[in-house]
Amino acid sequence: MDWASGPPPSRWRLPIDEELTRLVRRTRAPAIRSDSAIVAEFPSLTWDGPYRAVRYVLFDLYRKSEGMDSHIALLRKILKQTEAHIVLLSDVSESIRTYIGDEHKSWLILLARSPASQWTEWWSATKSLQAAVTNVERLKQLTEDALRELKKNGRPPNRSKSLFVERLADLWRIMTGDDASRDLAAPFASFVSAAWASLSKDLPEMSWASQIRRRKDTSSAEQLVYWFDERRELAILRLSSREN
- Structure confidence by residue, pLDDT tens digits, 115-135: 655 667 666 777 777 777 777
Residues 6+ apart with CB under 8 A from 6: 49, 51
DSSP 8-class letter at 53: H
Residue 102: pLDDT band (50, 70, 90) is: low
Report the alpha-carbon distance of residue 220 to residue 223 in Å, rounded: 5
Domain range summary for the chain, segments of one domain joined by +: 10-68+158-243, 70-151
Output the pTM of the full model. Answer: 0.64
Residue 13 parent element (H or E):
none
Contact 196, 164 (CB under 8 A): yes
Q: What is the pLDDT of residues 18-71, one digit of tens each?
A: 999 999 999 999 999 999 999 999 999 999 999 999 999 999 888 766 554 455
